[in-house]
Amino acid sequence: MSGHHHHDHGDGGHCHAEHDHSNDITPAVQSLLYTQIDFDQINTLNESTPKGGAAIVKKTWAERLNDTPELESDADEQLLMYIPYDIHLPPYIPRSPPIIFASDAMPRDNPSSNTFYPSSSSPQKAIHIRILTHSLPRFTGQVKVHSLLIYTAPTPCAPKTLKLFKNRDDIDFSTASELSPCQTIEVPQPVPGEDVFELPLNRALWNTTTSITIFVEDNWSDGDEDVTKIGYIGFKGQFMALNREPVNVMYEAAANPNDHVAIPGVSGVGGRVMPGQ
């Protein structure tokens, strides 16, 4: 990371404080954008512990004031978090029974098997059900972000200036310092007993959001503390299902008679097998 230097922090250089759980605000659960976050793709630069950024975003609302996990910066007070959304809903895949092409084919031993033997032929001759590929709709959607939720202990290690970038997966510390952010917000200085800060965003700027990059530019130490600590990050907003896109799934369908060869000595549709059988 360009422009970052490692510093030696002893125990006195870190900030510790006890959390106060008395102020227990509870937002509307349905407005939390938690299940829409793609946790596996979260990437944090300058974190002291690998996946530390992802860990605090994975915290549920009930875990928001827990002391651990906690994100700490490494080389200096700056952090850069890329948080993408998974805007796909799983497709509905209907379960349909197998369709057998051969009218006189009967299963042997295993009624659920996809291999059927003609009742009038040798067990060595089998009719196989063809498996086809079909496209089913997969719903997609868009995320509208209304506010950023953040919690940190009431110490100078708390983040101060946040620069937010929308739908960018190419931001590093250099570009974050040079580019104009989508929005800049200042986190209030936390005090003992404070709960999560809900920081409203300009909703007109955060429609059709696929990812948010958070650049923590400084903390409340005014340059005296090289470590920034964050205990929880979350988002409130809306997820709206939109159009459909095709998804390939496998399902069972009837076999094509033209793809089968005749079994010597056996007549009728039950006397054909797939080539090579």
Give pLDDT tens digits for 135-156: 334 456 789 999 999 999 999 9
Residue 176 domain-assigned? Answer: yes
The residue with tokens 């290690």 is: 157
Does residue 112 carry a pLDDT above 60? no
Query: Across residues 229-253, what is the average pLDDT?
Result: 72
Residue 253 domain-assigned? Answer: yes
Side chain identity at residue 132, one-letter code: L
Backbone phi and psi for residue 162, each to the nearest 5 degrees, phi listed first = -115, 130
Strands (E), the chain: 43-45, 71-72, 79-84, 105-106, 115-118, 127-128, 131-151, 161-166, 183-186, 197-200, 211-216, 229-230, 232-252, 261-262, 272-273
CATH code at position 261: 2.60.120.470
Which of helix, strand or coil describes residue 158? coil
Number of folded domains that form the chain: 1
pLDDT at residue 31, rounded to an integer: 85
Residue 197 domain-assigned? Answer: yes
Distance of alpha carbon 42 from alpha carbon 39, whole angstroms: 5
Residue 217 domain-assigned? Answer: yes
Domain of residue 70, residue span: 30-277
Higher pLDDT, 24 or 194: 194
Distance of alpha carbon 45 from alpha carbon 53, whole angstroms: 9
Residue 72 domain-assigned? Answer: yes
Segment 23-32, tens digit of pLDDT: 445 555 568 9
Are 45 and 80 in contact by the 8 Å Cβ rule? The answer is yes
Query: Across residues 177-199, what is the average pLDDT?
Result: 95
Q: What is the DSSP letter of 213?
A: E
Higher pLDDT, 161 or 259: 161
Residue 88 domain-assigned? Answer: yes
Residue 12 domain-assigned? Answer: no
Residue 165 domain-assigned? Answer: yes
Q: What is the mean pLDDT of the chain?
A: 74
Distance of alpha carbon 218 from alpha carbon 156, whole angstroms: 10
Strands (E), 39-87: 43-45, 71-72, 79-84
Query: Across residues 144-172, what is the average pLDDT?
Result: 96
Residues 218, 219, 220, 221, CA torsion sign: negative
